[in-house]
Amino acid sequence: MKKLVVLSGAGMSAESGISTFRDTGGLWEKYPIEDVATPDGFFKNPDLVLRFYNDRRKQLMSVKPNKGHELVAELEKDFDVTVITQNVDNLHERAGSKHIIHLHGELTKACSSRNPNDSRYIKELIPEEYEIKVGDKAGDGSQLRPYIVWFGEAVPRIETAVQFVKQADILVIIGTSLNVYPAAGLLNYAPDHAEIYLIDPHEVQVSSSKTIEVIRKGASEGMAELLARFRK
Ligand code: OAD
């Protein structure tokens, strides 16, 4: 079976009703990155940051995977698939994808604020725990925080992601503006023989000399077109 890697971003979940970050009306227009997505922002106003992620976590219960997520899961019938996602939602899982690398963390998990990557203190939250409050403690006694990779923090799963991209026969990039590194640099690890597709309804600036087949469509329609091409 050929190895296929999907690299997804916020646009993957847009048709499920989750806002992207950098499009007009995107999340970073309403909530400055420095306030809600940096360790410094959390230090200055933990309550605001916890509320921001509590709201997004609770939103997960009212949204569902879209056709695009479902078609990504369907790729597993024909390929050995790894999904590398920058998204912190759980929509790829819920659509049935089996092998998912979350580069930027997961909304449904919480961790220690002293050592966010200490696996002993990373826990899956049940819906009754979706509201993290100031004073809630992680297993090491520090303030419990969302298991999210903030700007300025290391991206622990990037090395694993690189290894999968290096082995890919096909790389499919969906719904990411490729603004945020190291995720945006992953495509440069694709081997020379790999076919690279990019699905996005808008133009994406790609800083790579690789040949990329662009499908200028939303995630659902774009994935349908890709599957039709594969099955020809
Ligand atoms: P962006 O908001 O930067 O980019 C979203 C991309 O999705 C854009 O290229 C849009 O054109 C595209 N898009 C919009 N609607 C779409 C649709 N229906 N189907 C497919 N694509 C669509 O989001 P990301 O690139 O994911 O990190 O942002 C990367 C990281 O920056 C995020 O993981 C987050 C953010 O800050 C952290 O929070 C650490």
Tell me the mean pLDDT per 10 residues along the chain, length 232. 98 96 88 94 96 96 97 98 98 98 98 97 96 98 98 97 98 97 97 98 94 98 97 88
Q: Assess whether the C-beta atom of 106 lies below 6 angstroms from ligand 1.
A: no
Is pTM, for the whole model, over 0.95?
A: yes
Judge if the upstream peptide bond of residue 182 is cis by omega within 30 degrees of 0. yes
pLDDT of residue 232: 87
Ligand 1 mean position, distance from CA 40 (Å): 23
Tell me the CA–centroid distance for residue 8 and ligand 1, in Å: 8
Distance from residue 89's CA to the centre of ligand 1 (Å): 13
HSE-CB at 58 with a 13 A cutoff on CA atoms is 10
Q: For residue 172, report the distance from its CA to the centre of ligand 1, in Å.
A: 15
What is the Cα–Cα distance from 22 to 232, expressed in whole angstroms?
35
Q: Could you confirm whether 104 is annotated as catalytic?
A: yes
Radius of gyration of the chain measured on its C-alpha atoms? 18
Pocket test for ligand 1, best of 19, 102, 177 (most atoms within 8 A of CB): 177
What does the pLDDT read at residue 75?
Answer: 98
Q: What is the pLDDT of residues 181-193, one digit of tens each?
A: 999 999 999 999 9
Percentage above 90 pLDDT, the chain: 94
| Exposure string for 133-157, b = 16+ CB within 10 A, e = fewer | eeeeebeeebbbbbbbbbeeeebeb
* pLDDT of the residue at 30: 87
CB of residue 26 inside a 6 A radius of ligand 1? yes
CA distances from 43 to 34, 107, 189 (A): 11, 19, 35
86 close to ligand 1 (CB < 6 Angstrom): yes
Q: What is d(CA 66, CA 86) in angstroms, rounded to the nearest whole number?
A: 17
